[in-house]
Amino acid sequence: MKTFWKIVAAGLTAFLAWAAFPPMDEAMDIAFVLAPMLALTRLSRPKSAAGWWFASGFAFWFATISWMPAICKNNGPWPLVVLGWIGLAALCAGYMALFGWLDALARDKVGRSRHVNAARLVVLALVEPTLWAGMEWLRATLFSGFAWNFLGTAVGSFPPFATPARLGGVYFLSALVVMVNGVFATLIVRAIAPMARRPGTEEAPARTWVSSLYRTFETALPLLIAYGSLCLSAPATYHPAEPVTLRVALVQRNAPCIFSKRDAEDPYKAFTGLLDKVAPANPDLVVLAESAFAEFGSARSDGVRQAALHFSNRCGGAAVIGGADDSVFTNGERRIYNAAAYYSPSASNALVAVYHKQHLVPFGEYIPFDKIITPLQRLSPLGVSLHPGEPALFDLDGVRLAPLICFEDTVPPLSRRAAADGAHAIVLITNDSWFSHSLEAEQHSRQAVMRAIETGLPVMRVGNSGVTGVIQPSGRARWLTDGAERPLVDQAGCLVESVQIDRSAPKTLYVRLGDAPLLALFSAVLAMVLWRRRH
């Protein structure tokens, strides 16, 4: 395959993958986004495939996370921000390069066989999707991970096609996307194979009816698997035994970033103006964003309790959930947490419960190894090193709410564990004003859609600067907008929504099994590919 066409394939895949997410949001191209590079892999040696996958992946990720420099206007040192931008893009591209190497290696060994048999068909159909899904899992897990813009996340724009996530999570959905892309890649290779045959292969034997039938099944099998997954994952129709309607007010204040040099506004005045708009709806719950109470004190302080009671009284005694820091002494050590606090006027001292964020952002909320080398804590943008917390559920009149903070809605195991622990709904609060006036907030909101589908739970999401709204278990979302089609971002607003909660809803298969089936299959495929390489 000539270098020119390899450049075209790498560039086309990078562009189509970028276009599948905001700002272009052309998610329909996800069905063939990888086809050019998968075709290139089928016609290349492993090392060459890895190099081209890295080039394509770096172009895609560099463009996708182009919102990173937005933090410079919020006191982010631009040399480190640019270095982090390039480094993160290269790291994510490295996983794609590893996939390309393994995929080409598997096909170089298995695909060379001239024997037509079912085992070869199954291997070629399953190896590629499994390797891709495994690489996504590694990217989301290793070294704290970067669980952002999986292939399956783009499918969330079309909820009816995203239901397979109920079976195996977003990774399974990504695997199905790769499987469908493989069909297009196979057709491309068949069309250009005479002009660009894989190096070292011999001329194909004469076509027989057996080989023709095999080629038909090679194309049809992935489509049958994808269709079967859609049928199996379709939610069953039943009548809830314990239905509850929760009237929820979501408040997006659009407060300045903590590092902003803009003149601070009066938080009481800002919140009161927004709450007066939702008060006539008599909400049961008011949800404020991450860091909403930061200007009043820590979560357990009198200042925050008084503010929470004031906001509650403005809305007829509604419960209030909002973000603040929390300071706790453990064994004589003072630990600081990023927290979500639950307040109610019926509770003593107003404070009902506090949740501590579990998945911290490295170099944002802590510096790696700063608990061992304590001087590193001074390098944290917050000025302190935060500690990770534990899962928690907030009980609101028998409705169990699972709080999550910031990027925790990008991490599938956290919402899955909450659902397994008996949560009836998820409440996600975030503050993306660090990246204000960029695409980060809208890209971030798309991750939460998959958490709703995976768990079968509604997600109530509030962003300080956007995106704010309610996501149904089906994946359909109602966002706070300014009257246009796109969500309201970098502006203040509020939304009142009646959230239907089914306390008797059965747990999805993904909630029951998690990522264990994927990891088992990924380990087996990885072992098979590496064993064949060695022998």
Secondary structure, 3-state, 86-151: HHHHHHHHHHHHHHHHHHHHHHHHHCCCCCCCHHHHHHHHHHHHHHHHHHHHHHHHHHHCCCCCCH
Distance CA 213, CA 179 (A): 19
pLDDT tens profile 392-417: 999 999 999 999 999 999 999 999 99
DSSP H helical ranges for 20-77: 35-42, 46-64
Domains of the chain (ranges; CATH) run 3-236+517-534 (no CATH), 243-355+400-504 (3.60.110.10)
Check pLDDT > 50 for residue 95. Answer: yes
> In angstroms, rounded to a whole number, what is the distance separating the alpha carbons of residues 370 and 380?
9
Q: Is the dihedral of CA 414, 178, 45, 112 positive or negative?
A: positive
Task: Encode pLDDT of 416-473 as tens digits.
Answer: 999 999 999 999 999 999 899 999 999 999 999 999 999 999 999 999 998 999 999 9
pLDDT for the residue 211? 66
CA 482 – CA 117 distance, rounded (Å): 58
Average pLDDT over residues 53-80: 91
The band of 202, judged by pLDDT with boundaries at 50, 70 and 90, is very low
Closest by CA to 178, choosing from 131, 107, 129, is 129
> Token pair of 465, please?
């600067």
Site of tokens 């975030």: 430
Tens-digit pLDDT profile for residues 467-477? 999 999 999 99
Q: Report the distance separating Cα 478 and Cα 448, nearest Å.
A: 13
Write out pLDDT tens, residues 229-288. 999 988 766 667 778 999 999 999 999 876 554 556 889 999 999 999 999 999 999 999
Least confident of 50-59, 157-166, 203-212: 203-212
pTM: 0.93
**Strand ranges, E, within 189-316:** 243-252, 285-287
| Residue 144 confidence (pLDDT) above 90 | no
> So what's the pLDDT on residue 203?
47
Average pLDDT over residues 329-336: 85
Mean pLDDT of 371-395: 84
pLDDT class for 160, splitting at 50, 70, 90? very high
pLDDT band at 497 (very low <50, low <70, confident <90, very high): very high
DSSP 418-447: HHHTT-SEEEEEE-GGGG-SSSHHHHHHHH
**Alpha carbon of residue 478 to chain centroid:** 18
State the average pLDDT for the chain. 89
How many angstroms separate the first and last alpha carbons of the chain?
A: 27
Whether the per-residue pLDDT at 200 is higher than 70: the answer is no
Query: What pLDDT, on a 0 to 100 scale, did the predictor assign at position 208?
Result: 66
| Least trusted range by pLDDT, from 107-111, 116-120, 456-460 | 116-120
- The confidence score (pLDDT) of residue 410 equals 96
Q: Which residues pair with 341 in a beta bridge?
A: 322, 354
Q: Compute the average pLDDT of residues 97-122.
A: 73
DSSP state of 66: T
Please report the sign of the dihedral spanned by the C-alpha atoms of residue 309, residue 312, residue 317, residue 318.
negative
